[in-house]
Structure 1
Amino acid sequence: MDGNGRWAKRKHLPRALGHKKGVETVRNIVRVAGKMGVEAMTLYAFSSENWNRPEEEISDLMGLLRQYIQSDIDEFVENGVRLKVIGNYRVLDADIVAMIDNAIEKTSGNSKMTLAVALNYGSQDEMLRAVQHIAQGVKSGEIQPEAINLGHIAGALDTADMPPLDLLIRTSGELRLSNFLLWQAAYAELYFTETLWPDFDQVELERALESFGHRERRFGGR
C-alpha cells in the first residue's frame, strides 16, 4: 500500500493526512473485496524497516492503527472477516498488542474472508524464523535433515494457514517487492499500478482482478 506520503505532498498536506486517507482506502478496499468474494487479502501495513522513519510519523501510524482496530472490529464480526497478523507485532506498545490479540480472538470463528495485516513484518525475517523453527525440530530429533521438504518451510511461515498467494498488487509505480511475501510470491501474478494508495478504489481493484483473470498461469509447467 504505497504512496501515502507522495499523495499528501502533491496536495501540500502533512504526511499524517496521507496516512489517514490511506486507512480510509483500506476500509473501503476490504469491504469491496469481501463483496467480490475475495477469500483472503494481506495488507503490508508496517514493515520491519519502517522503524527508520521519523519518530513523529511512526507515532501517527500507531495512532491510526489503534483507531482502525477500535472502529472496525465490530464490522469485521458482522461481515464474517477473520483478522490475522503476520510479523512480530508483539514488540509494539502493550495496548496495541492487547487490542490486536482481542481482535484476533473475537474474529477467530469467522470464515467469509481472512484479512491478514503485516505489522513489523519483513519476508526475509519471516523465512529466517521458519528456518530456525525447522532447525529446532532437527535438533530435537523430530525431523531428519534429509526429510525436510517445501511443506516444512511453508508450514513454518506466518501465512501457514492461508491459501496460496495468487495476486500481488503494488501501488504508486514502484517496481519491486520490498521484502514482502517473497516465498509466497514464487508463482504469484504481479500487478503494478501508478495509482497512489489513497486513490486506489473499487475500479482499480477491478482492473487488477481483470488483469489477473486474463493471465495464463503455468507454474513452470510449460
Structure 2
Amino acid sequence: MDGNGRWAGKRRLKRFLGHQQGAEAVHFVVETASRIDLPWLTLYAFSLENNLRRPKTEVSFLMRLLSAYLTSNVQRMNDNNVRIHYVGRTHELPNEVQERMQWAAEATQQNTGTTLTLALNYGARSELVDAFKRLYAEIEQKHIRLDDITEQDIQRHLYTAHMPDPDLLIRTSGEMRISNYLLWQIAYTEIFVTNRLWPDFRGLHMLEAIEDFQRRERRYGGLSDGSESDDVTSLPANQLVNS
C-alpha cells in the first residue's frame, strides 16, 4: 500500500496525514472485499524495514494509528463478517499494540466472510529465515530427514501456512518492485500495477484490478489453451486475491 508520504507531499501536508488518509482507504477496500465475498485479502501494512529505517516518531505514530484503526473498526468488521489475522514478527511490536491486535482477532474470530490479513513487521526474507529455523529444529529432533525435505515442508513453516498462495498482487503508486513481500508465495501470482497512490485507492479500483486479472490466462509454466504439447500441462488456479 504505497504512496501515503507522496500523497501528503503533493498537498504540502505532514506525512502523518498521508498515513491517516491511507487508513481511511483500508475501510473502502475491506468493505468492497466483503461485499463481493472475497475470501482472502492481505494488506502489507508495516514492513520490517519500516520498523528499522523510519524515524522513531513516525514508527510510533504508525503504531498508534494501527491501534486506533483496530479499536474503531472491530464493530465494522463484525458487521461485514470480516475476520482479522496477522503475519510477520508481531512479537517484536509494542506490548500494547500486540494486546490490541489480539483483542481484535478474538472479537472477529467467529466471522466467516473475508479474512483480512495485515502483514505487520513483515519481511519475506525474515519469514524464510524463521521457516528454515523451525525446519532445522524438526531435523534436529529427527522428525524429518534432510533428504526428505520438500517444498511443502517449507510451506507449512511459513507465516502464511494456513492460507492459499495469492492469485493477484496489486501494487499502488506505480512502483515496479516486490519490496520483500511474500517472495515464496507469489511465484505464480499475477501482478497489477497502478499509478494511483494508496490514499486515493478505493474499492472500485480493486474491482478494476480483479477485472483485469480475470482477462488474463494463467499458464504456470505450461502452454496457452489450444496449444499442443505432449509433456507440458497447466496447473489449476486458486481463487484468491491478495492486495
* TM-score of Structure 1 vs Structure 2, range by shorter chain: over 0.9
Cα offset for 1:162? 1.1
1:85 corresponds in structure 2 to 86
2:161 corresponds in structure 1 to 160
**Any idea what the Cα deviations from partners look like across 1:79-133, whole Å, max 9, x if unmatched?**
2211111001121111111111121122222221111001100000001111111
> What CA distance in whole angstroms lies between the structure 2 residues aligned with 1:203 and 1:76?
19
Cα offset for 1:39? 0.8
Alignment of 1:146-185 (within 5 A): 146-185=147-186
* TM-score relative to the length of structure 1: 0.97
Letter of the structure 1 residue corresponding to residue 20 of structure 2 = K
Question: 2:67 touches 2:101 (CA, 8 Å); kept in 1?
Answer: no
> What CA distance in whole angstroms lies between the structure 1 residues aligned with 2:87 and 2:96?
18
**Any idea what the Cα deviations from partners look like across 1:139-192, whole Å, max 9, x if unmatched?**
101011122111111111111111221000110011000000111100000011
Q: How many residues align?
A: 222
1:7 corresponds in structure 2 to 7
SS of 1:46 mapped into structure 2: strand
Letter of the structure 2 residue corresponding to residue 68 of structure 1 = Y
* TM-score relative to the length of structure 2: 0.89
Cα offset for 1:77? 2.2
Alignment CA distance shift 1:77-1:203 (3 Å): closer
2:232 corresponds in structure 1 to none
Letter of the structure 2 residue corresponding to residue 152 of structure 1 = D
Higher helix share: 1
Question: 2:34 touches 2:81 (CA, 8 Å); kept in 1?
Answer: no
Letter of the structure 2 residue corresponding to residue 12 of structure 1 = R
> What CA distance in whole angstroms lies between the structure 2 residues aligned with 1:77 and 1:35?
13
Alignment of 1:122-201 (within 5 A): 122-201=123-202
Cα offset for 1:201? 1.1
1:19 corresponds in structure 2 to 19
> What CA distance in whole angstroms lies between the structure 2 residues aligned with 1:77 and 1:102?
13
> What CA distance in whole angstroms lies between the structure 2 residues aligned with 1:122 and 1:164?
16
> What CA distance in whole angstroms lies between the structure 2 residues aligned with 1:79 and 1:37?
10
Letter of the structure 2 residue corresponding to residue 135 of structure 1 = Y
Letter of the structure 1 residue corresponding to residue 47 of structure 2 = S
> What CA distance in whole angstroms lies between the structure 2 residues aligned with 1:207 and 1:168?
13
SS of 2:156 mapped into structure 1: helix
SS of 1:190 mapped into structure 2: strand
> What CA distance in whole angstroms lies between the structure 1 residues aligned with 2:114 and 2:145?
36
> What CA distance in whole angstroms lies between the structure 2 residues aligned with 1:61 and 1:95?
13
> What CA distance in whole angstroms lies between the structure 2 residues aligned with 1:109 and 1:128?
32
**Any idea what the Cα deviations from partners look like across 1:8-33, whole Å, max 9, x if unmatched?**
00011110000000000011110011
SS of 2:109 mapped into structure 1: coil
Matched, 1:44 2:44: yes
Matched, 1:53 2:54: yes
Query: Unmatched 5+ residue regions in structure 1?
Result: none
